Chains A and B, each alone.
Chain A
Amino acid sequence: MLTYLIRRLLAVVVMLVVVMLAVFGIFFLIPKWTGVDVATMFAGKQSDAAALDGIRQKLGLDDPIIVQVFDFFKGILVGRDYVSAGDTLHCSAPCFGYSFKTEQAVWPILADRLPVTLGLAVGAAVIWLLIGLAAGVVSALRRGSIWDRAAMGIALSGVSLPIYFTGLLSLAIFSYGLGLVSNEYTPIEESFPEWFSGMILPWLTLAFLFGAMYARLTRATMLEVMGEDYIRTARAKGVREPVVIRKHAMRSTLTPIITLLGVDLGALMGGAILTETTFSLPGLGQAVLKAIGEKDLPLILGVTLITASAVVVANLIVDLLYGVIDPRVRLA
């Protein structure tokens, strides 16, 4: 168990380093190949040579890429100092550097936006798990019934609709047309009802897409599981059907669901880019999309690393949960 954990944690670290290298590669190597000076990318094409030199020196752009990566890593763990023209700027851990555009420290920006994304993802996940699991299980048990057909028809539509279209449609109908809910984000500290009113459409939109996926997966897994030998054994032993479903079938049905949930929640931590764009939610996704447009590397690196860590940590938790949910799984 302990060796398993250590091995997994090592894998997490490797994963994060690779993700970081990939982002560095995209934003430093590709411009190099194509002959674009990174410093002009950040300072604007009109800047004079002295300004460009200053930027290069301050950000360490003239250092070898290895040194830059190392500095960045060091910054996250213990903080780092930026030296330029005699001034020293200390950036304490976790230091993700300073935004090239706004010159603010990246970490506070991210910390500011994290609650929005977290609220969106968790709220939506609660809804889609409830809907998806219930619809999937009932569909599997009443296979071929009207309920099954209707639920699966809706689910198939759900996975075929782009989220920004359902989002816009729901905004046009429920916010603009009927005036039922707000189309603006209000922080939860300011006013809970306002926050709720602004979040309900994003939640439902996101939950519609994911609920549809989970319903399909739940149904398919459940049908598969109900055909397994151990279910027949349980029935043969005289276990009543509700107990067979709850205690025997549900457990193994949950395994792939939990797997998917780990990946999805982790990925959403990096910002549900499309949902946040559609509903103008000031979350991580919106921040990173803007940063990508402005080629603001430190911000992109920050969000990417947060997402990647969220995904790998979620996967780790999921793997540990397997043992609890499914007694057949033994971690080695």
Chain B
Amino acid sequence: MNVLLANGPLQRRAWLVIPPAERGCSPTMTAPLHDASAETAPVDPALAGAGDDAKSIEGRSLGRIAWNRLKRDKVALTGGVVVLLLILIAVCAPYIVDLLGHPPDQHHEDAIDPLFQTPKGSLGGLSSEHLLGVEPGNGRDIFSRIVYGARVSLLVGFLSAVVAVVVGTVLGALAGYFGGWLDACISRVMDMLLAFPQLLFIISLISVVPNEMFGLTGTGVRLTVMILVIGFFGWPYIGRIVRGQTLSLREREYVEAARSLGAGRRYILFKELLPNLIAPITVYTTLMIPTNILTEAALSFLGVGVKPPTASWGQMLSQAVRYYETDPMFMVVPGVAIFITVLAFNLFGDGVRDALDPKGSR
């Protein structure tokens, strides 16, 4: 849903571009850069004194300006740092867990009160041995499961965003550039997908997928299917933006100039248009990842995500439903993990949007 939020404001900002100088593109591409810098320069006088490279007046590309702006946005940077930390945790999960010595699937019956099936001790069995306590019932170490759960969340979040971005950019650019019946077809499909009862379809699809597929089994299948399906329902959001941008960009003088110089379609699409689409695509991707993470958690919560015993945050929350009265800690830990992750991505995404978009609302 997040993706919808920036919808209106962004579409009108066709002039928002990454400088060609940085991307090694043809000189014809400087046209929008002039527009943009003329517009931004007076808007941001504070920046002139702030950056290290302020001594030279010219030569600051839009990408550099955006980066400078992002550097000053402490909140967004904090979000970015947290995101990096989370990625690090996910990548190093086996080492972190090894260090503490509680594999995520190991049961610790000794930490469980046999009468109530809840963890011994206060706060869900929190101790120096089990940093975030243990699960009620079987006593699995929550910290280890949270660390491994980060892998699932981030993997699905990132890869499904990649699927959505690739499909959305290709189809959106094709629709916007070629127009005609192709545009009509793609646009109808996008409208239709946006009006689809998505969660329902995702759940239905995953529930009929067999256990073995594409040479994968169990968790591998579920992960692949989740990535593909979430990505599939996400591409129209990107597709619409890219189509709108392409529509307005293809009428620009620099595209016309390239065409009159004899540039082919492929050249214009990849060398002239695509670099100018990078900014909106970046913004949408960063804002799409948290939404996808939430979707993955929701699917696991509903029991159609990764299969147990593989740990995922949503699945931990769904188990916590039964214990919210006796062991509230079990619900708080994965909930807070999802919250921190999604919030960090959102903060960073908002920062990226504001940095790439000086007319932004902040």
Taking a contact as CB atoms under 8 Å apart, the answer to whether A278 and B200 are in contact is: no
List B contacts of A39 (CB < 8 A): none
**Is A231 in the interface zone, CB < 8 Å from B?**
no
| Contacts known (A165-B335, A289-B302, A308-B195); A303 close to B8, Cβ less than 8 A | no
B311 within 8 A of A: no
Asked if A102 is at the interface (CB within 8 A of a chain B CB), the reply is no
Closest A residue to B294 by CB, please name it.
A162
Q: How far is the CA of A223 from the CA of B317 in the complex (A)?
A: 38
A308→B201 CA distance, assembly (Å): 11
Residues of the A chain whose Cβ atoms lie less than 8 Å from the Cβ of B2: 159, 213
Binds A, one of B14-22, B132-140, B269-277, B319-327: B319-327
Contacts of A307 in B (CB 8 A): 197, 200
CB distance from A51 to the nearest CB of B (A): 22
B267 CB-CB contact with A under 8 Å: no
Interface string of A154-168 (1 = CB under 8 A from B): 001101111011001
Residue B122 CB within 8 A of the other chain:
no
Chain A positions within 8 Å of B343 at CB level: 156-157, 160
Select the residue from A15, A159, A164 with max chain B CB neighbours within 10 A: A164
B207 within 8 A of A: yes
> Nearest chain A CB to B40's CB is how many angstroms away?
16
Interface positions, chain B 1-48, Cβ under 8 Å from A, are 1-2, 4-9
> Counting CB contacts under 8 A, is B124 at the interface?
no
Is B342 interfacial (CB 8 A cutoff)?
Answer: yes
A274 touching B200 in the complex, CB below 8 Å, given contacts A157-B339, A161-B339, A256-B7: no
Q: With A22-B201, A311-B195 as given contacts, are A162 and B290 in contact (CB-CB < 8 Å)?
A: no
Interface of A: prevailing SS: helix
Give, as a whole number of angstroms, the nearest-CB distance from B135 to chain A.
Answer: 16
Contact A171 B324 (CB under 8 A): yes
Beyond A34-B210, A162-B338, A292-B203, whether A213 also contacts B197 by CB under 8 A is no
For B332, what are the chain A residues with a Cβ–Cβ distance below 8 Å? 169
Contact B208 A31 (CB under 8 A): yes
* A39 → B minimal CB distance (Å): 15
A288 to B346, CA, bound (A): 31
Given contacts A220-B9, A221-B8, A307-B197, contact A165 B339 (CB under 8 A): yes
Contact with A220, one of B6, B196, B210, B301 (Cβ below 8 angstroms): B6
- Name A293's contact: one of B7, B9, B207, B342 (CB within 8 Å): B207
A315 within 8 A of B: yes
Q: Are B301 and A164 in contact (CB under 8 A)?
A: yes
**Contact code string A241-279 (vs B, CB < 8 Å = 1, else 0):** 000000000000000100010011011001001100110
Is B303 close to A, CB under 8 A? yes
B200 near A36 with CB under 8 A, answer no
- B85 proximal to A (CB < 8 A): no
Q: Is B297 an interface residue (CB 8 A)?
A: yes
The reply to whether B207 and A162 contact each other, CB–CB distance below 8 Å, is: no
- CB pair B5–A315 under 8 Å, yes or no, is no
A176 beta carbon closer than 8 Å to chain B: yes
Within 8 A of A (CB), among B302-354: 302-304, 314, 317-318, 320-321, 324-325, 328, 331-332, 334-335, 338-339, 342-343, 346-347, 350
Q: Does A111 contact B (CB under 8 A)?
A: no
Q: Is the CB of B192 within 8 A of A18?
A: yes
- For the complex, count residues of A whose C-beta is within 8 A of B: 56
Contacting residues of chain A (1-53) with chain B, CB-CB under 8 angstroms: 15, 18-19, 22-23, 26-27, 30-31, 34, 36
Q: Are B5's CB and A293's CB within 8 A? A: no
What is the chain B residue whose CB lies nearest that of A270? B197
Question: CB distance A308 to B331 under 8 Å?
Answer: no
Whether B199 sits at the interface, judged by CB under 8 Å, is: yes
Q: Does B209 contact A (CB under 8 A)?
A: yes
* A312 close to chain B: CB less than 8 A: yes
Residues A176 and B195 in contact in the complex (CB < 8 Å), given A216-B5, A223-B361, A277-B302: no
Task: Please tell me if A186 contacts chain B, counting CB pairs below 8 Å.
Answer: no
Q: Interface 1/0s, chain A 285-314, versus B by CB < 8 A?
A: 000110011010000100110011001100
Q: Choose among B7, B204, B324 the residue that contacts A168 (Cβ–Cβ < 8 A).
A: B324
A80 contacts B by Cβ under 8 Å:
no
Q: Are A156 and B347 in contact (CB under 8 A)?
A: yes
Tell me which residues across on chain A come within 8 A of B320, comparing CB atoms.
168
**CB of A224 closer than 8 Å to a CB of B:** yes
User: Do B297 and A304 touch (CB < 8 A)?
Assistant: no
Contacts of A303 in B (CB 8 A): 200
Nearest chain B CB to A126's CB is how many angstroms away?
19
Choose among A15, A162, A172, A256 the residue that contacts B195 (Cβ–Cβ < 8 A). Answer: A15
Q: Report yes or no: A273 in contact with B5, Cβ–Cβ below 8 A.
A: no
Cβ of A308 and Cβ of B339 under 8 Å apart? no
Which chain A residue has the least Cβ–Cβ distance from B297?
A: A162
Q: List, in ascending order, chain A residues with CB within 8 A of B302's CB.
A: 273-274, 277, 289
> Is B361 touching A19 in the complex (CB atoms < 8 A)?
no
A217 interfacial contact with B, CB 8 Å: yes
**What sequence of 0s and 1s flags, for each residue 39-75 of chain A, a beta carbon within 8 Å of any chain B beta carbon?**
0000000000000000000000000000000000000
Given known A-B contacts A156-B347, A213-B5, A220-B361, A274 and B301 have beta carbons under 8 A apart: yes
A-B contacts, 8 listed (Cβ < 8 Å):
A15-B195, A162-B294, A169-B332, A223-B361, A256-B8, A292-B203, A300-B200, A303-B200
Q: Which 3 A-B residue pairings sit nearest by Cβ, starting from the closest?
A: A165-B335, A307-B197, A160-B343
Known: A156-B343, A161-B342, A304-B197. 13 other contacts (CB 8 A): A160-B339, A165-B338, A169-B332, A169-B335, A172-B324, A213-B5, A217-B4, A220-B8, A220-B361, A256-B7, A256-B8, A277-B301, A292-B207
Name A's B-contacting residues (CB within 8 A).
Answer: 15, 18-19, 22-23, 26-27, 30-31, 34, 36, 156-157, 159-162, 164-165, 168-169, 171-172, 176, 213, 216-217, 219-221, 223-224, 256, 260, 263-264, 266-267, 270, 273-274, 277-278, 288-289, 292-293, 295, 300, 303-304, 307-308, 311-312, 315
